[in-house]
Structure 1
Amino acid sequence: MPKVEHPNSTVLTDEELRTLDAHWRAANYLAVGQIYLMANPLLTEPLTAAHIKPRLLGHWGTSPGLNLVYTHLNRVIKARGLDALCVWGPGHGGPAVLANSWLEGSYSQTYPDVPRDAAGMDRLFRQFSFPGGVPSHVAPETPGSIHEGGELGYSLAHAYGAAFDNPDLLVACVIGDGEAETGPLAASWHSNKFLDPVHDGAVLPILHLNGYKIANPTVLSRLPESELDELLRGYGHEPIHVTSDDPHQVHRAMADAFDQALDRIAVMQRAAREDGRTERVRWPMIVLRTPKGWTGPAEVDGVPVEGTWRAHQVPLSAVRENPEHLRQLETWLRSYRPEELFGADGRPTADVLACVPEGTRRLGATPHANSGLLVRDLPMPSLDRFAVPVDKPGATLHQPTRVLGDLLEQVMRDTSERRDFRLVGPDETASNRLGAVFNASGKAWQAQTLQVDEHLDRHGRVMEILSEHLCQGWLEGYLLTGRHGLFSCYEAFVHIVDSMVNQHIKWLKTSRQLAWRAPIASLNYLLTSHVWRQDHNGFSHQDPGFIDHVLSKSPEVVRVYLPPDANTLLSVADHVLRSRDYVNVIVAGKQPCFDWLSMDEARAHCARGAGIWDWAGSENGGEPVVVLACAGDVPTLEILAASDLLRRHLPELAVRVVNVVDLARLLPSEEHPHGMGDFEYDGLFTTDKPVIFAYHGYPWLIHRLSYRRTGHAQLHVRGYKEMGTTTTPFDMVVRNDMDRYRLVMDVIDRVPGLGVRAAAVRQEMADARTRHHAWIREHGIDLPEVTDWTWTA
């Protein structure tokens, strides 16, 4: 029996009930057809094995529940004139979302070669999970989607991200009970403590309990309803329960549940927006409990299927070979009475379409799911206002991220009215020296506040929660619905979202191939508190490998930048915040760092991506005998200090210094849009001279990027090699053999003929390393010659 929280049920007329059921049956029919059929879509002739796909792929179990939600969302959108978006957490239920978008006409509008008639139905069925067709999951190809359903756990975070700063939008989010077991989804329930009822839209979670995953029961479905209700109320929601396996009863209960939920949302938003009420809102949600594989075969080969895990994917798996399975499939398809739902021409009947909204109110046609159509250019102030003065390289020091914080503060101010920029991070905004943004916006917060709290703001646009998953999910949802943002994180812990960034990169790669999807603002990472300046926190905080992870992905999407000082960081940040359809990773330090380049020099250097620093070398217009290369702020410091030592100890040596800001420049031009052709690369690094390369991360990445180059055999890379601990800053580079003394020794070891001639210099460098070890163990700080070093050339 259906269960709803209040006895005053929505009164559906018999006509409304009949048309809602017709739409739901039509969607179920289309979902089954996509999984099984490659011909005979309207069953105009008896079903035969020739009509069945040779490979049966797809997920039936969740589809009838998704179809029910889609049908009832249509009803309330049309009746209330809502702007709505739905995030489909059980994204493997792609047949359902595709079926509904075809029924409402948005699919055919997007893909005219799949019209809303018999020929289009035939193509819809054949293309599903078929070579040259469309994926079985909700995907970028699916109209109305912002959420790749292949990996579970991110739906609710995406939904909240879509709702932030979207005050007129309702974001429904269907959460599968298997998905609800994932860590990211479990944390996502706390997103309601950050949703501002004044400036944000509403999120309506719909927890769909159908009892099973692929082969096991789901945890939440096995909880007693009272215990589940207490859990969800503890999260801050007001649950409305709908439980039924009777279609007519569930339609009435679902209509009532949606009306209750939307009435509550309207009252709460009006109280906050018009009456000025400030107490925390307890948002409604719906708990929908239906059988898995509902309306499908009850039993197959003598074992139960409907309502069990066996309904998860393809309930009848041997249709082409087993006549009984074929008979059951035809009976199943005809149980929806398709002759009542589609005309002879295959077009949906008026009854089926009675609940469907029009135009952009259709879920498959909402511009919020194709928000390159909505995104506006971010107002970026002139960098000269924030640039640090550099009259001479290495004469002054600044904290690069603190300088960037001033720029971000202005961006926050300039978007205060339009509210389309957010800064997210896991409790690290102040730690990462970006605290200036609090002068323009506080931290979003709807929960309890105390007098000792700072910068908490009910209407804030800085988002902090100690969950990298939520930060990533919120920002993805925000970007995918037409806004801008930046994710600031400790470098070592951004790995927590490795899989999430994978999915977003795949989304962007596919979206770029779809002419109808407009470009969105890029996903921008600022990774700081990085490996070389986590000496105090130790080994657990030392991992630069996110760069390796990202650069292994689609080259047309990913970019990695290693600005060596404050002004180059400003230039890179300006570039990435203006960009579209990329995942940009910036690694920059928050500790005091030498200023090497003026703002104009920084712009030019960042535009090149890699270049010679004439002032730092000693080739004097001739040909170098060795190239000192660097990428990253600490590697740049050590390379310049090594160049300084070589200038003093071996002044006759012709040294070239090359700095790399854009790491993809090391790739061949045919492998990455930012890559260098061989002629340009060889001119920069030479073809036959030793190259000593100090790199921010794991050294083998540089070898991977440049292995095809002519001079690769002469390339020697120093970087992080898992020699971490709690120690002094300089000892970190010594432990990993990237210190200035080791780099000078590398030059002596690799320049032909220098080993004997400079043996005394090499010995002096080795002695300095020995002296360093003794000094730090006695004094606990680095050698004065290191801490007091400045560039004097």
Structure 2
Amino acid sequence: MTLASQITQAQSTGEPSSKTNERESFAPDTLSPEELALIHAYWRAANYLSVGQIYLLDNPLMREPLLAEHVKPRLLGHWGTTPGLNLLYVHMNRLIKARDLNTIYITGPGHGGPALVANAYLDGTYSEVYSGITADTDGIRALFRQFSFPGGIPSHVAPETPGSIHEGGELGYALVHAFGAVYDNPDLLALCVVGDGEAETGPLAASWHSNKFLNPVTDGAVLPVLHLNGYKIASPALLARIPESELADLMRGYGYDPLFVTGEDPAHVHQLIAAALDTAADKIAQIQHDARENGVTDRPAWPMIVLRTPKGWTGPKVVDGLPVEGTFRSHQVPLAATRTNAEHRDQLEEWLRSYRPAELFDDEGRLLPELQALTPTGDRRMSANPHANGGALLRDLRLPDFRDYAVEVTAPATQMHEATKVLGAWLRDVIVHNPDNFRLMGPDETASNRLQTVFEETTRAWDAITFDGDDHLSPDGRVMEVLSEHLCQGWLEGYLLTGRHGLFNCYEAFIHIIDSMFNQHAKWLKTTRHIPWRRPIASLNYLLSSHVWRQDHNGFSHQDPGFIDHVMNKKAEIVRVYLPPDGNTLLSVADHCLRSRNYVNVIVAGKQPALSYLTMDAAVAHCTRGLGIWEWAGNTDGEPDVVLACAGDVPTLEVLAAADILRRNLPELKVRVINVVDLMRLQSEAEHPHGLSDRDFDALFTADKPVIFAYHGYPWLIHRLTYSRNNHKQIHVRGYKEEGTTTTPFDIVMLNDLDRFHLVMDVIDRVGSLGSSAAVLRQRMADARLSARAYTREFGEDDPAITNWVWPSE
């Protein structure tokens, strides 16, 4: 039974659609016979080049019989989705030429890499950026040889592929990247192919809602194409096995106007997809015209296409007695033993020759002129569109002078401020100065993270129903809030990759939700740094607040500082982690991060009222160094007996309080206090560009004195960063060790032995010269811990003597 007949039979078992099937309204003669013949030939060429990439080392145009040595020894790649991707590409070329569209192509099934490489080669972009891949027989041979081959290119739509902003190695993010790309890009159309396996993921299911954040006046458009070819690697695709009426209702429920194209006869499908794309383009143009010229404010039903074609279309129908085309067996390499199995090799030769390459390429291996004429030219080629190389369009942010937002610090550690609220005033004016070039993303936590000052000048982006009493909602808002970290991350990635800037603020514990998305973006950045034609993009900036030490009210589930550890696994050339201890240092760090390129910057800062330590001038100097001695907090200009180090706002507070206790009770003890803002400074200069030389590290932390290090996160990360230092055996780290609950802020610190009293005890235990002379103080510290806990159990809050501690005046 053919695919079309199976679908027809399946639909008869479901409820009838509430609307006439859109397929029936398509004109059967959208393409003239001449256009149809040329488009079909171009599709054959793209399919031929795709198969050749998977299989061939030599004999690129099949001008001699296929021999074993012409075939790659290791066959890697994915065929099943590729012909559908090629079909959409050639038809989008037609649409772009006919309407002069500004379009990028985002490929959810990114393992269909052969298709995007083939099309970039056919339109000439590939040869322009890779001079060794020429537009001739030798170039085709090189194109084939490099694919999934040592020293070549990956099998996915990787950064090496011109026109790509989405690799698609991990499924679920194509649609959210597409929407991120078109926000503030009013002339851009993102064609987004959603694979049927990808459509089953949670992030993709949520991504359909991105249309509620799209402003048709100031944003571009996304045309989603749900490509249903029936199967994943082995199992059926879920959305391919529900009645078409149910699928149509699902898409309409998401707010789309679905168009359906189904078939397996190429001539018929060419006509249907051409008509569907024309219809979709007309609807998009009408929506934008109504919004931009006629002032229509109702949220539109944007078009989307459901495309059903056979998996592995035009490939082998049967291999070793088993059906392949139209089944899961075509997902990767349909003929797996072509180098060693003569029967498979004969089938491969028949498959390749079925595309009739001699009718597509001339004697020199160049695409025939009449086929070349089907492609757009210049930047209108999807593989050459500058939005897919966002650094080429990147404009510097117009940043207000962060020094103008400084909090006054008349004496260190005596005045209270909310660091992120201080930052919010600066971000408000960043938005004002960059009305179409900067967005703030967050999962419904902008106000919770104390950034609400931004709402003095902007609103939350929102194109759904509003009620009286809603807070700061409008279609043109610059703050994007949705309770999905996946969408926030994906929108921002798409926004950055197309040449804009942004900041993602999130609760520290739940940023882990996007761990794998961060992985993919960091890998993308690492790869693009070594691709000369890829221009640097704005850094991906995270602001993590509501952090582990101030989640005492939400409890254990909200206490996890481990995202830093995850980030630190990536290449040093890509990642940066900053722990500013107060508002002025946060301003300095944020300004630096928003100016940077091609990094992932993680900033961890508290939102609760906390002590301020440095004047703005001192903060700038301190952040520029990345770490430094706080002379005012120690009691020696010379060699210390002990170093108290800290990284993070709460650890800094506890270290300073401990230093105060030591100064008052052990005045003869020489104490040095070091604060670390840039965590990478702890590494060796051989490990990270920001790293300290061993000489500089020893000068600060000493080569042989005990170091008590109070750290924001899991303590073993500091050991990992300093393991090669001369004094590593003397470094004793206190941090979060998975002890948490719903309690008071100081009790959380005590549960993890990071409190001031325990730090003093650590000093006594580690400084050998103290010995029993400090036994009384140690006992008092242990008693102080017990007293502090007892106070919380009786009164439900921390002892005011602890809460209200400030640095003593001299």
Q: Report the TM range for the smaller structure's normalisation.
A: over 0.9
Equivalent in the alignment of 1:599: 616
Q: Answer yes or no: is the 8 Å Cα contact 1:22–1:351 preserved in 2.
A: no
Task: Count how many residue pairs are aligned between Structure 1 and Structure 2.
Answer: 790
Match of 1:169 in 2: 188
Paired amino acid for 1:17: L
Matched residue, 1:451: 468
> Are 1:26 and 1:352, in contact at CA under 8 Å, matched by a contact in 2?
no
Q: Name the CA distance, whole Å, in 2 between partners of 1:711 and 1:320.
A: 58
Tell me the residue number matched to 2:7: none
**Greater alpha carbon shift after TM alignment, 271-280 vs 782-791:** 782-791
Q: Is residue 538–residue 724 contact of structure 1 (8 Å, CA) maintained in 2?
A: yes
Task: Give the secondary structure class of the aligned counterpart of 1:255.
Answer: helix
| Partners of 2:26 and 2:739 in 1: CA distance | 66
- Alignment map for 1:749-788 (pairs within 5 Å): 749-788=765-804
Structure 2 counterpart of 1:251, one-letter code = H
Q: CA deviation at 1:4?
A: 1.6
Alpha-carbon contact 1:157-1:474 (below 8 Å) kept = yes
C-alpha distance in 2 between matches for 1:9 and 1:616: 81
CA distance in 2, matches of 1:63, 1:413: 44
Could you say which residue in structure 1 is the equivalent of 2:432?
Answer: 413
Q: How does 1:533-572 map to 2 (within 5 A)?
A: 533-572=550-589
The CA RMSD measured in Å over matched residues stands at 0.9
Q: Residue in 1 aligned with 2:318? A: 299
Counterpart of 1:463, as a letter, is: M
**Percentage identity across aligned positions?**
67
- Per the alignment, residue 642 of structure 1 pairs with 658
Structure 2: gaps of 5 or more residues: 5-20
Secondary structure at 2:152's aligned position in 1?
coil
2:672 alignment counterpart: 656
Counterpart position of 2:533: 516
Contact 1:170–1:202, Cα closer than 8 Å, also in 2? yes
Amino acid at match of 1:667: Q
Contact 1:244 1:250 in 2 (8 A): yes
Mapped pair 1:464 → 2:481: yes
Of 385-394 and 506-515, the range deviating more from structure 2: 385-394
Return the match for 1:687 from 703, 718, 722. 703
1:204-223 residue pairs with structure 2 within 5 A? 204-223=223-242
Equivalent pair of 2:414/2:612 in contact (CA under 8 Å): yes
**C-alpha distance in 2 between matches for 1:120 and 1:529:** 55
User: Which position in structure 1 is the counterpart of 2:135?
Assistant: 116
Give the counterpart of 2:626 among 598, 603, 609.
Answer: 609
2:400 alignment partner AA: P
Tell me: CA distance 1:198–1:553, structure 2 relative to 1, closer, same or farther (3 Å).
Answer: same
Q: CA deviation at 1:244?
A: 0.5
Matched, 1:702 2:745: no
User: Which ranges in structure 1 are unaligned for 5 or more consecutive residues?
Assistant: none
Structure 1 window deviating more from structure 2 (112-121 vs 562-571): it is: 112-121
> Would the aligned equivalents of 1:744 and 1:765 in 2 still touch at CA under 8 Å?
yes
Deviation at 1:352, TM superposition (A): 2.2
2:759 counterpart letter in structure 1: L
Question: Which letter does structure 1 place at the counterpart of 2:665?
Answer: H
Is residue 408–residue 437 contact of structure 1 (8 Å, CA) maintained in 2? yes
CA distance 1:483–1:10, shift in 2 (3 Å): farther
CA deviations over 1:675-695 (Å, ceiling 9, x no partner): 111000000000100000000
**Shift in alpha-carbon separation, 1:10–1:771, aligned structure 2, 3 A:** farther
Cα offsets for 1:163-190 (capped at 9, x unmatched): 0000000001000000111111111000
Tell me if the contact between 2:276 and 2:305 (Cα under 8 Å) persists in the aligned partners.
yes
2:217 to 183, 198, 216: 198
Equivalent residue number for residue 375 of structure 2: 356
Aligned to 1:667: 683
Kindly report which structure 2 residues correspond to 1:625-640, keeping only aligned pairs within 5 A, or say none: 625-640=641-656
1:126 maps onto 2:142 in alignment: no
What is the TM-score normalised by the length of structure 2?
0.97
- Tell me by how many angstroms 1:468 deviates: 0.2
Check whether the contact 2:26–2:272 (CA below 8 A) recurs between aligned residues. no
Give the match for residue 322 of structure 1.
Answer: 341
Cα deviations by residue, 1:533-574 (Å, 9 ceiling, x for unpaired): 000000010000000000111110000000000000000000
1:230-249 CA distance string (max 9 Å, x none): 11111000000000000000
**d(CA) in 2 for partners of 1:591 and 1:503?**
32
Contact 1:110–1:516, Cα closer than 8 Å, also in 2: yes
Distance 1:80 1:155 in 2: 25
* Alignment check: 8 A CA contact 1:3 1:253 kept: no
User: What is the CA deviation profile of residues 129-173 of structure 1, one whole-angstrom value per residue up to 9, with x for unaligned ones?
Assistant: 000000000000000000112111110000000000000000010
- Indicate the SS of the match to 1:381: coil
Residue 452 of structure 1, CA deviation: 1.7
Displacement, 1:354?
Answer: 3.1
Is 1:532 the counterpart of 2:532? The answer is: no
| Partner residue, 2:300 | 281
**Partner of 1:310 in structure 2?**
329
Cα shift at 1:9 = 4.7
Structure 2 residue aligned with 1:716: 732
Q: Give the 3-state SS of the residue equivalent to 2:363 in structure 1.
A: coil
In the alignment, the residues of structure 1 paired with residue 244 and residue 466 of structure 2 have an alpha-carbon distance, to the nearest angstrom, of: 32
Q: What does the per-residue CA deviation read over 1:723-743, in whole Å, with 9 as the maximum and x for residues that have no partner? A: 000000000100000000000
Please give the TM-score of this superposition, normalised by the length of structure 1. 0.99
Paired AA for residue 493 in structure 1: F
Aligned to 1:747: 763
Q: How does 1:460-499 map to 2 (within 5 A)?
A: 460-499=477-516
Which of 108, 121, 127 does residue 102 from structure 1 map onto? 121
Q: Name the amino acid aligned to 1:567.
A: N
Superposed CA offset, 1:354-378 (max 9, x none)? 3210001001100001111100111
Q: Tell me by how many angstroms 1:10 deviates.
A: 5.6
2:150 and 2:189 map into 1 onto residues whose CA distance is 36
Q: CA deviation at 1:5?
A: 5.2
